Structure 1
Amino acid sequence: MERIVATVLVVCCAGAAFADSYSLTIVTDKGVAITAPQEWSRRLANAGISSVRIRSGRPGDQADIEETPLATGTLYRVTGVLTSGGKLALPGESFTIGQTAKLRDYLDRVLADGAQAMTAERGRYGLTKEQFEHAFTELGKPIRFSTKGKPLGALVDKLSAETGVSVTIDPLVAPTLSRLTCRDELQSLSYGCGLAIALKAEGLAMAPEKPRGKPVQAAIRLAGDIDDAWPIGWPTKARGTELAPKMFEKINVEIDGFSLQEAVDAIGLRIEMPVLWDHAALDAKRIDPAEVQVKLPRANMAYHRILSRLLFQARLRGEVRVDESGTTFYWIYR
């Protein structure tokens, strides 16, 4: 059976003098029903894609997207293959004849984000490697002002202003966020890690997302509404002695008559890194470090062992973590 090609040209002008456009070429494989091109043409027209022209196929046709700069914008030449199984294969996705609305959405995304966005491999948060690396770098910029007791909204505003990553806040969250203050001193940590800590304390979370036709942005929502929140700390290949050498220094110690908060605060001054608490976890278990009395018999031990022994008395744990820029901090959690 002779191969047949249907070509559709759609121009999205929206009243603008400068506009991108796309052409869609559907190449039929062997075994495709002879009536298929006419049926696809009809369905495309019903979906708002008109001016379908049927012509003979050409050797070498395959799924592809070519970008051609024009005086009035960019022309995206999209080629798809209609298989004998009835699916239209386009770069990155495939569609059945009952999914013409999704096909139109696909073409709209081509116009909004370009050909590369349709074919690039995507990883965490649905971002391409380049998009994730850009977000990671920008969110790795340091917080340069004191945060404890300051409005949480100020930290959000600073992130947007100093990193270039715009922030969107769930309308259900915005009124609450405007009334909250930051519980911790996060100065010197990165914006990404610092904001993740501040938000978690209030039952909120942040995750990067890529809206159509826009740069990657940070979305703030209720923690339960985000499946993969921006993490508090990142994996590192550094060994403990390299990452936090002070934690392995031994001292003579004996603790009695002090609260967990007092003991940890005193150690925090010596280990040369911020000590931060998972307030949400503590609140959930009604653990108040200022009310938990701790003891430690006289001994000679390293700081990391001292902290571990003290935190265990409140059924807590702690570990050294690193933010996006490699700054270390001690995270206490349950």
Structure 2
Amino acid sequence: MIRVPLPLGLGSFVALVLLADSLAAQPRQQPARPASPAPVRLEIAMEPGLDLGDAHEWARAYGDRGIDVRLRAMKATDDARIENAGNEQRPSWVVIGILTRRNRLQVPGRTFTIAQGADAKEWLDQLAANGPDAIVGERLAFGLTPAQLIALHDDLATPVEFPTIGIASRTLVERLSETIATPLAFDPAAASALDDAVICEDELQGLTVGTALAAAVRPGGLVLTVRRDEAGSVSLAIVESRRAEEFWPIGWPIEKPPGAVAPVLSDKIKVDIKAFRLGQAIEAIRAKCGLAMLIDRNGLAEQGIELDEVRVSYTHPDAPYGAILSKLLGQTEPPLKYEIRMDERETPFLWIAPR
């Protein structure tokens, strides 16, 4: 099987790690949204010296787009802002826009020309449907608002409830996507990379869909990324790694000591391994300690390492699982290592990759 090298994407990964910290600290409850779009009024505050004829042209042009527009003189305290003239349960949004002498309308986070009435209407419709955070809120990874990112994280925390070893990766991605609410699509260039010859070789059952999707597409040189369109809708995409500036990682770094996250690795057993295939030894340890183990098969292929061609040995009367695994992984050339990661439900697993 041909495996495509993947970039580390460290900057994106660090950003996502920082995001994981914030997700862990934030409540999972979604902000309340109105059952139907809230009313929105655009108040255009005219800068002193602006030609009144120009201002009325704005009112006509934007009014023809179905926008509720009011014109008034600018006050000394005016700035571009959004106010709620209703209440939290039944909002009524008032957008204060500043019409400058340069004939530009400044609203929070955007500037429109008179010819951009359609864009302004779409922006105001987003406000009506989803509130201010959807249009001017803080943006985190993938350009999402905090609420969108939390919702996506929770969706991708859906557990994988079926065995995955031996399933064609393309079929696996399709089955996983059916278990979540967020739409998923392949980029055209990525679709051909996961042909029927690319088979899932790791057991992902019991982990989360986010981690499973990211792991399932990696052997094809692909990554899972997130998109937010102009209307604010969030979707997932499978793309070639070189085309992704940000991508969803295969698990998250642990914050607690390893012994607190995966205490089973400290359990001791008698071990007598003599000339076992490394793949066979890894599977035996996985079966005994119960931790999922995902293997960076792209990284191994780059180094020319085939697990079933490497013979390993280790004998000890009372060794911890973690030490046994480290000793065995260190017998490849170059050596391998394991890293404890967590999926979106904070379930620990081991990521095995070249050092």
C-alpha distance 89-292 of structure 1, shift in aligned 2 (>3 A): same
The answer on 1:332 being equivalent to 2:352 is yes
- SS across alignment from 1:258: strand
d(CA) in 2 for partners of 1:303, 1:36: 78
Corresponding residue number in structure 2 for 1:319: 339
Q: 1:133 aligns with which of 131, 142, 150?
A: 150
Paired residue for 2:226? 208
Please say which of residues 99-108 and 122-131 is displaced more in the overlay: 99-108
Question: How far apart are residue 75 of structure 1 and its match?
Answer: 8.4
Distance 1:299 1:106 in 2: 73
Could you list the per-position Cα deviations for residues 44-68 of structure 1 after superposition, in whole angstroms to 9, with x for gaps in the alignment? Answer: 69xx757798653357543223578
Partner of 1:15: none
Q: CA deviation at 1:239?
A: 2.7
Matching residue within 115, 119, 127 for 1:105: 119
Distance 1:274 1:19, change over 3 A: closer
Q: 1:319 is matched by which residue type in structure 2?
A: E
Partner of 2:191: 174
| Corresponding residue SS for 1:270 | helix
Q: Please give the TM-score of this superposition, normalised by the length of structure 2.
A: 0.72
Contact 1:165 1:216 in 2 (8 A): yes
Contact 2:44 2:72 in 1 (8 A): no
CA contact (8 A) 2:211 2:249 kept: yes
CA contact (8 A) 2:50 2:100 kept: no
Letter in 1 for 2:303: K
The 1-side partners of 2:120 and 2:299 are apart by 42
Kept in 1: contact 2:262–2:348 (CA 8 A): yes
- How many residues get paired? 305
- CA 1:299/1:85 → structure 2, altered by over 3 Å: closer, same or farther? farther
Q: 1:183 to 1:27 in 2, by over 3 A?
A: same
- For the pair 1:284 / 2:287, whether they are aligned, the reply is no
Q: How far off is 1:178 after superposition?
A: 5.4
Q: Work out whether 1:188 is the aligned partner of 2:206.
A: yes
Question: Is the CA contact (8 Å cut-off) linking 1:22 and 1:107 kept in structure 2?
Answer: no
Deviation string, structure 1 residues 208-235 (Cα, Å, up to 9, x no partner): 2222336422111112212221111123
- Between 1:116-125 and 1:213-222, the stretch displaced more is 213-222
Closer, same or farther in 2 for the Cα pair 1:54/1:243, shift >3 Å?
closer
The AA in structure 1 aligned to 2:347 is T
Alignment-derived partner of residue 314 in structure 2: 296
1:290 counterpart SS class: helix
Structure 2: distance between partners of 1:270 and 1:101: 67
Once residues 294 and 228 of structure 2 are traced to their aligned partners in structure 1, the CA distance between those partners, rounded to angstroms, is 30
| Distance (whole Å) between structure 2 residues aligned to residue 262 and residue 130 of structure 1 | 44
Distance 1:155 1:238 in 2: 32
Larger radius of gyration: 1
CA distance in 1, matches of 2:105, 2:274: 73
Structure 2, unpaired ranges of 5+: 1-35
Separation in structure 2 between the aligned mates of residue 193 and residue 177 of structure 1, nearest angstrom: 17
Write the distance in 1 (CA, Å) between the matches of 2:175 and 2:118: 38
- Counterparts in 2 of 1:87 and 1:324: CA distance versus 1, 3 Å: same
- Relative to 1, partners in 2 of residues 1:287 and 1:41: Cα closer, same or farther, differing over 3 Å? farther
CA distance in 2, matches of 1:313, 1:38: 81
Unaligned residue ranges in structure 1 (runs of 5+): 1-17
Aligned to 1:258: 276
Question: Equivalent residue for 1:124?
Answer: 141
User: Which position in structure 2 is the counterpart of 1:7?
Assistant: none
Matched, 1:269 2:269: no
Alpha-carbon shift at residue 165 of structure 1 (Å): 1.6
Tell me, yes or no, if the aligned pair for 2:194 and 2:217 is still in contact at 8 Å: no
1:146 and 2:163 matched? yes
> After superposition, what is the alpha-carbon deviation per residue over 1:233-263, rounded to whole angstroms, capped at 9, x for unaligned?
1233333222212100123334331222122
Paired with 1:21 and 1:89, the residues of 2 have a C-alpha distance of 20
CA distance in structure 1 between the aligned counterparts of 2:100 and 2:320, rounded to whole angstroms:
67
| CA deviation string 1:76-101 (max 9, x = no partner) | 6432235789975421x244x8x777
Structure 1 runs of 4+ aligned residues shifted over 6 Å read: 18-22, 36-42, 50-54, 83-87, 99-103
Is the alpha carbon distance of 1:158 and 1:101 closer, same or farther for their aligned partners in structure 2, counting shifts above 3 Å?
Answer: farther
Cα offset for 1:170? 0.7
**Bigger RCO (CA 8 Å, 6+ sep):** 2
Q: Once the 2 structures are TM-superposed, how far is the Cα of residue 307 of structure 1 from its aligned partner?
A: 1.2
